[in-house]
Chain A
């Protein structure tokens, strides 16, 4: 059954149909057996990467579904080269040469940190723009949202990079290991005051968020108590950061050595107090206790679901998807990949009712747009220009509500947790015009800096389509990259006629114009005729609400 037939099936007259927003599906984790076409490949790419570039749809649609998912979950490329000194024109770095990386330099100087913090954020935008054919970058962003640290609080750029690098390296690994790594990550120790947490003055900040945001979550079955938070804080006492080497170490003298007893929610678990260097082992005991609760696996599976499938988790999705995923998670000792594999190969993931319903985040909107149109940025080696362009892209995402590296608070972006609106929170009377503003700008004028311009090359993009001389195919092929929402033939005809044909009714007006350009590409007039129409077309398609969905 094709999508349209599926959607209209059973809608006979007077038959009750399920009401928005409660229509979900009973499908579960059985492996998807349906057709594997460009449509399904595009769906997979829109969700697992930033945007579905045509060459990526071509690549994966010529493989099997299983091969596509396996490849997306097993990145083959190296980790990205680290951020460099791009700020030498504004501030001379006493240690790091222009164009060289600063990440190994422990200098903790406020002014320098500010430039490096900016360098980091531009670099991250660049890494996302240059992502390989894998889920790695989207997953890194997801974990960055999950742990919700803010560079403005961490300040020290060395730690800021280290935190991000940790998330990227652990993103497809073991979640329990990631929680341990994050717990004693210097950026996190600063962010939630763990480095100040000591026996005589416990600081509950990390302990609380560890339970509420990072592992157990909240919900009717999560019933840890306020004393549990305090007790967990005392377990975690003693972690410190050496201000000279910037290394994390455990200071037994600051550790609370008394025995820690938790509430009945944790089966009255007792973590025996340990002395000396062994005190550090209590952190592992605490993490083991949190991972012994089934809520942890369910909560993390829900977080993943909200990022990659949809924000609404009804009773059927909970029973048929979340619970089975959580069992996979636990039986694989909290390895992340088996969970993702089961989800992305499932009937549920490819269910038509789960397609096209995810509102793009600002990062998805901006990076996805740049990637789908193959916008050419300055080469990474040309670091001054490259960082400058990445900076522009990054600040637009911030204006739309997603400041990478600095979510609003420790809870991350409200779009991933705030009931009842969730992803809809990305779209406001302020951010929606800005999304349009961005795509308008990138279509018509681009952004010029240092005599280089990043802009959507509408002609180059159109040339990649199957038969651009046929205006009907042109519009349909472009929609096959840009849109997930099906567009009716009537609408395609109307768009084609009013934009590509300038109100004419005969398709050959366009065909002639296109062929005229191809036969004389140096002719400015011939080029302008088609480029203005193509700009109007793509601008219009990106202004419509449909474009906000992936």
Chain B
């Protein structure tokens, strides 16, 4: 939501508080006048930006954030790859934990108060398969749930519920999310479609002719054709905005050469400064699957893993400096994640096998500096099965970002993440005082399906708009299963209709109302509460 609208809409406390729901803490509106005054003159209308840095392969967190206070336990569990104590980078004012020697950039950021290190982030019953674990992190699901949407995609769907119908528009002329790299990821998959656009280089867009010829047939061929046509259209519309935004930024701070991640982050900084209202950027680097030879036997502070961490650290440092140079540092925050950490005990191939919890970095000027949590406990004589237990659920990190960075109300966070999660002290929430309602994003675009009341207890009324032709309204659960089909008909008239969804004995939780009207589709998340 844009700050101006937020302020305009956060006036009388009584009017803005939604119906109080059992079990939800509603933050009271705080009339903080100095803050309001300060915020009344925003220099830009664009909102907060989150940069997600994915480290593919399973990053060895234990050699990245090193438990100095238990160095002997750490060393004895992995003496062949352990970092020499004297080489560990120290954190100012915090001697229990240190950083890998390659991460001088992040050390500097920590000391400058721009880094929060969250220890041992994971989830119950960890999974050790790369792509299942990646799916869990991307989807924000529990270990035993298979959710086919991404957490960031669901958030964007709550924020811009009408997307993609009527997009781009004045409220949101830009892609909701941008993935640097060609394949858009599961994290940005919304209930109806992927919420992101993938780009490699913002100036290489290519205009395509796209005059649609025939209506898509009603079969799998037509379904795929509609998908491709949708992408083709968006490619056109967004390309100009992105090229224009990129063109507005003639100068940036220095970035390291030959650094794949830095190359991506440089594009991100440029697009942010160029004025895109895009909320989420995803970037990434691979190579963290260090089963063997992760460090040099002669000097464990160098080698494959050290090179990866240097790439990561240098890139984030350069990006953060550039954000400051460009004057956007107050709007930008980032996080790093990997699908899992690695085993406590190293193997004799000078590597580490798939593990469990690992630290995350929260970086940027608005990160609350410090180390969150304790060093992971390392059992004496760690065996090959021993893993780092998690201290913080990764969804707590997501929930905190949503709450304190994107100012998302509690019930919406539960809609996005399916449950309540602990709020962490890792991000400043100074800009989220008050209770946002009537966000213009909610009505931007073409509103085709809505429901009221929401949240609901047993029944809710679904209102849908059809242009005639085949019209389908389905109820889908969080796992993507069709629970109920409420409308499935060829309609001869256009108009707005309502239908009641009686949830009966269905369990409380998140449900989606999906409208499909010829080529259009739209999905509205709904929260059933007890």
Contacts and interface: CB of A to CB of B under 8 A. Distances in A.
Interface of A: 7, 11, 13-17, 19-24, 192-193, 196, 198, 200-205, 208, 212, 218, 226, 230, 310, 312, 352-359, 400-401, 408-411, 414, 417-421, 423-425, 427-434, 436-437, 484-488, 490-491, 494-495, 540, 543-546, 548-549
B409 interface: no
B525 interface: no
B260 interface: no
A196 B229 CA distance: 49
A23 B218 contact: yes
Interface stretch (B231-239, B249-257, B266-274, B308-316): B231-239
A218 B132 contact: yes
Given A15-B490, A193-B291, A418-B186, A409 B220 contact: no
Contacts of B145: none
Contacts of A230: 384
Contact of A431 (B182, B213, B222, B291): B182
* Majority SS at the chain A contact face: loop
20 contacts: A11-B490, A16-B488, A16-B489, A19-B470, A19-B472, A20-B226, A21-B220, A22-B482, A310-B220, A352-B219, A355-B221, A357-B221, A359-B224, A409-B56, A428-B231, A429-B184, A491-B214, A495-B213, A545-B210, A545-B212
Contact of A411 (B130, B186, B220): B130
A23 B214 contact: no
Contact of A484 (B194, B221, B485, B488): B221
Contacts of B210: 543-545
B132 A200 contact: no
Interface stretch (B347-355, B364-372, B495-503): B347-355
A546 B231 CA distance: 13
Contacts of A226: 128
Contacts of B474: 19
Interface in B192-207: 194, 197-200, 205-206
A424 B209 contact: no
B228 A401 contact: no
Contacts, number: 190
Contact of A434 (B206, B222, B354, B482): B206
| Residue from A15, A353, A436 whose CB has the most chain B CB atoms within 10 Å | A436
A175 B349 CA distance: 31
A212 B129 contact: yes
Q: Which 10 residue pairs across A and B have the least CB separation, nearest first?
A: A201-B348, A357-B220, A429-B197, A356-B221, A545-B228, A433-B206, A428-B198, A491-B213, A20-B223, A420-B148
B490 A359 contact: no
B292 A193 contact: yes
Nearest to B149: A420
Interface of B: 56-57, 128-132, 146, 148, 175, 181-184, 186, 189, 194, 197-200, 205-206, 208-210, 212-214, 217-229, 231-232, 234-235, 238-239, 286, 289, 291-292, 347-349, 351, 353-354, 384, 470, 472, 474, 480, 482, 485, 488-490, 492, 516
Contacts of A208: 128-129, 354
Contacts of B148: 419-420
Contact of A427 (B208, B219, B231): B231
B218 A20 contact: yes
A432 B231 contact: yes
A363 B218 CA distance: 27
A228 to B, nearest CB: 12
Given A7-B219, A14-B490, 15 more contacts: A7-B218, A11-B218, A14-B492, A19-B472, A20-B218, A20-B220, A21-B223, A23-B219, A202-B384, A226-B128, A357-B220, A418-B186, A428-B198, A430-B199, A487-B214
Contacts of B130: 409-411
Contacts of B349: 193, 196, 201, 203
Given A409-B56, A410-B130, A419-B148, A200 B490 contact: no
A2 to B, nearest CB: 13
A245 B281 CA distance: 49
Given A17-B490, A19-B472, A428-B198, A544 B221 contact: no
A548 B228 CA distance: 8
Contacts of B181: 430
